[in-house]
Amino acid sequence: MAQAYTADTGNGTARTRPTGSFAGRIRRMPERWRGDRGIWRRGVVLAFCAVLVALLMILHAHIPNRIGNLGSLTETFLPWFGVFVPLIAVAGVLRRSATALIAVLLPLVVWLNLFGGLLGESAATGGDLTIATHNVNADNPDPGGTAEDVAAAGADVLALQELPAGQVTAYEEALSATYPHHAVEGTVGLWSKYPLTDTSPVDIRMGWTRAMRATVATPGGDVAVYVAHMPSVRVKLHAGFTANQRDNSADALGEAIARERLDRVVLLGDLNGTMNDRSLNAVTSQMRSTQGAAGDGFGFSWPAAFPMARIDQIMVRGVEPVSSWTLPRTNSDHLPIAARVDL
């Protein structure tokens, strides 16, 4: 049975509170700590964990990829390292460890430095061109409905990936009223309110077409638009993060973008990797993410049921990102994303 103590309420009356209750322990904790020299000796393991989390975030680029692509795997889920901060803090309070609570400030500061800029909502307005991209899922049971849902976002240019040959007609019929211009190459397609020219597949070393390029004649001038769907990655116990094929395709896509003759370039697609993943450097070193520059939150896009990573990307070169956001869920396992850019 919990004991009770009497507290002065400040108005001449007293109130009895149980000392054994959780609330009672929290209220009296500072008082207990004042005479407890063990608060500095306890929680050493927690403090070590806090320092380790901070070091992993600071030195993520130095984690080698030679063993199971461990570096890329860490970078894919790097924002989630912030979850350890409140866990360690709560454990430190429960352990009554001043050492742990001081140490947890280190990963907190590092995480805020890396990702704090994404916490605020974007209030940017304006822009000349609205663009969107969506991996529609080859097994989508309602391709027409998915196409209409994405078109409702009002994008001027829309890219779709994972288009099965047998469903292309369904997407074309659903989008024809909104987008008079479109082109499909392999399993990727581009729909536009403005004319398309110079449409061609892009070889990303897969043996079949999963990337394309087109020139979009916008009112603000020509824009080179690339649509890409990088190979999938898997996490396997015996092999680690299997991403070699994706990495090779990213290198090929980066080479194609480097040869682009137009100054204004937009890349839309499912890259199966995040902006933090070093293996996408061939692409990310040349282009700017709309989400990182003008996004609203982290913009996680996969898996749709509980998004944990932003592997669908809108990237630009030679244009200015104004805003970026995720669209409502469709019948796909990815969320659509959209952005507005200034030409």
Is the pLDDT reported for residue 295 higher than 70? no
Pairing verdict, β 196-201 and 188-192: unpaired
Residue at a domain's end among 95, 118, 141: 118
Dist CA 304 CA 312 (whole Å)? 11
pLDDT band at 28 (very low <50, low <70, confident <90, very high): low
Do 271 and 319 lie in one domain? The reply is yes
Structure-model confidence comparison of residues 25 and 180, the more confident one: 180
Indicate whether 1 belongs to any domain.
Answer: no
Is the pLDDT reported for residue 238 higher than 80? no
Structure confidence at residue 37 (pLDDT): 60
Query: Which whole-number Å values give the CA distances from 318 to 260, 262, 299, in the listed order?
Result: 12, 9, 22
Do 68 and 185 lie in one domain? The reply is no
Mean per-residue pLDDT for 244-249? 92
Structure confidence at residue 127 (pLDDT): 86
Do 110 and 184 lie in one domain? The reply is no
Do 59 and 148 lie in one domain? The reply is no
Structure confidence at residue 220 (pLDDT): 94
Do 301 and 333 lie in one domain? The reply is yes
Indicate whether 151 belongs to any domain.
Answer: yes
Neighbours of 319 (CB within 10 A): 22
Structure-model confidence comparison of residues 294 and 63, the more confident one: 63
Mean per-residue pLDDT for 93-111? 95
Torsion sign across C-alpha atoms 338, 213, 261, 280: positive
pLDDT band at 6 (very low <50, low <70, confident <90, very high): low
Range of the domain at 297: 129-342
Indicate whether 312 belongs to any domain.
Answer: yes
Q: Worst-scoring range by mean pLDDT, 3-12, 93-102, 138-147, 245-254? A: 3-12
Neighbours of 190 (CB within 10 A): 25
Instruction: Write the pLDDT tens digit of every residue in 44-56.
Output: 999 999 999 999 9
pLDDT band at 226 (very low <50, low <70, confident <90, very high): very high
Is the pLDDT reported for residue 253 higher than 80? yes
Instruction: Write the pLDDT tens digit of every residue in 168-180.
Output: 999 999 999 999 9
Structure confidence at residue 237 (pLDDT): 58
Indicate whether 2 belongs to any domain.
Answer: no
Structure tokens belonging to residue 330: 């469709």
- Percentage of the chain beyond pLDDT 90 is 73
Mean per-residue pLDDT for 10-15? 54
Mean per-residue pLDDT for 97-120? 91
Neighbours of 167 (CB within 10 A): 18
Number of domains in the chain: 2
Is the pLDDT reported for residue 58 higher than 60? yes
Residue at a domain's end among 90, 118, 146: 118
Is the pLDDT reported for residue 201 higher than 90? yes
CATH code, domain with 174: 3.60.10.10
Indicate whether 24 belongs to any domain.
Answer: no
pLDDT band at 10 (very low <50, low <70, confident <90, very high): low
Beta carbons within 8 Å of 74's beta carbon, 6+ residues apart: 56, 60, 63
Q: Worst-scoring range by mean pLDDT, 13-17, 166-170, 203-207, 240-244? A: 13-17
Indicate whether 20 belongs to any domain.
Answer: no
Please, are residues 195 and 214 in contact by the beta-carbon 8 Å criterion? Answer: no
261: three-class secondary structure by DSSP: coil
Do 105 and 197 lie in one domain? The reply is no
Q: Which of 117, 110, 60, 107 is nearest to 87 (CA)?
A: 107
Indicate whether 311 belongs to any domain.
Answer: yes
Dist CA 29 CA 95 (whole Å)? 11
Do 109 and 137 lie in one domain? The reply is no
Do 44 and 173 lie in one domain? The reply is no
Do 231 and 309 lie in one domain? The reply is yes
Beta carbons within 8 Å of 298's beta carbon, 6+ residues apart: 79, 115, 118, 291, 310
Do 309 and 234 lie in one domain? The reply is yes
Mean per-residue pLDDT for 127-142? 96
Mean per-residue pLDDT for 82-108? 95
Residue at a domain's end among 66, 93, 118: 118
Do 56 and 144 lie in one domain? The reply is no
Do 321 and 221 lie in one domain? The reply is yes
Please, are residues 208 and 225 in contact by the beta-carbon 8 Å criterion? Answer: no
Structure confidence at residue 27 (pLDDT): 55
Average pLDDT, the chain: 88
Indicate whether 336 belongs to any domain.
Answer: yes
268: three-class secondary structure by DSSP: strand
